[in-house]
Structure 1
Amino acid sequence: MMAARTVAALSCLVMMLRLSEAAVYKVGDSAGWTTIANVDYKQWASTKTFHIGDTILFEYNPQFHNVMRVTHPMYRSCNNSNPISTFTTGNDSITLTNHGHHFFFCGVPGHCLAGQKLDLNVLRPASTTPLSDPPTSSSPPPLTTNIPAAEVPGPSPSLAASLPSPAMARFTAVVALLVSLVFANFAS
């Protein structure tokens, strides 16, 4: 019985280590979500590898921009008439909850046509990947919204670069709990 509890606790620990790998990506890096800096968002996305659980952060001036999640046809034509969702805080955090393409653009007239649009592809979960140290957070996380992806094939992503992940505190608490459960099992 004790061995079964230990195996269950260690399995939970491995699962939590996987979840702690989630990254936070600031769209456009230091330039943010804008038309002024001439950011190539297609190029920006091509340098990242997005996974389920990652968060994308849109930072922008809400007086001049917004973020609309749209379908692939709407993305291609910059049609902002019926978005899936619209974000307007200037600090929009969106957790990617499934694989596939996610399409976004600024709904302010002319901004999408000027290139303020993003197509990012979330990879299917791999059966095994090496574990790495999760990044640490230097600022409080913004409000988070979970959204599903659109079902459209796309280009393969490349290596990831990420900002700090807000999952570290949760991860630490779960690890502490699991360690205490393992030691409690050994003591009984």
Structure 2
Amino acid sequence: MAAYRQVLLLAVVVVAAAPLASATQWMVGNDGGWGPKFNQSGWADGKTFRVGDSLVFVYNQGAHTVARVGKDDFAACNLEGNQLGFWDSGNDVVSLDQPGKVWFICTKPGHCDYGMKLVVDVEDGGALTPGPAPAPYF
């Protein structure tokens, strides 16, 4: 009976964790990475981003940055605005943890003005939030 309970518990854990494993890690810019005139590439067009996904920004450290900003700072390329997040490692992983639009810019002078900016629209993800576990059957 103990072995049956262990198998049942394992099955419940696997079923509950399976939706979480479906999160996507998006390489921003694909092989081109995060660089100048990025926004002109239309990289985000046609992609569906969901809560639980993450964005990976790859670039030469020191040459660029990634800053999460609000809509107005994004539109104005305001480098001195309110940064909601900041990364500068050259290999930055940013989790998409809530639905809605998320705006990113490079804070190096002139880079945002020349198109180094990205907006993604994050969907709720629905199935990524596991529901209640089924009642054990004994």
Q: So what's the TM-score if we normalise by structure 2?
A: 0.79
Q: Is the 8 A contact 1:42 1:118 kept in 2?
A: no
- Seq. identity, %: 31
1:15 aligns with 2:16: yes
The Cα offsets for residues 99-149 of structure 1, whole Å up to 9 and x where unpaired, read as 111110100111111110010111112359xxxxxxxxxxxxxxxxxxxxx
* 1:26 aligned residue: 27
Q: Is the 8 A contact 2:74 2:117 kept in 1?
A: yes
Code of the aligned partner of 2:22? E
Question: Secondary structure of the equivalent of 1:58?
Answer: strand
* 2:133 aligned residue: none
More strand by share: 2
CA gap of 1:68–1:25, structure 2 versus 1, over 3 A, is same
Q: Which runs of 5+ in 1 are unaligned?
A: 129-181
Q: Is the 8 A contact 1:52 1:123 kept in 2?
A: yes
Code of the aligned partner of 2:125? P
| Alpha-carbon separation, structure 1, partners of 2:55 and 2:97 | 11
RMSD over aligned Cα, in angstroms? 2.9
TM-aligned CA deviation for residue 40 of structure 1: 3.4
| Alpha-carbon separation, structure 2, partners of 1:19 and 1:25 | 15
TM-aligned CA deviation for residue 41 of structure 1: 5.9
* 1:67 aligned residue: 66
The Cα offsets for residues 7-65 of structure 1, whole Å up to 9 and x where unpaired, read as 66544322211000011111111100001xx4336721123111111111000112211
Q: Which runs of 5+ in 2 are unaligned?
A: 129-135
* 1:99 aligned residue: 99
CA gap of 1:127–1:25, structure 2 versus 1, over 3 A, is closer
Question: Secondary structure of the equivalent of 2:92?
Answer: strand
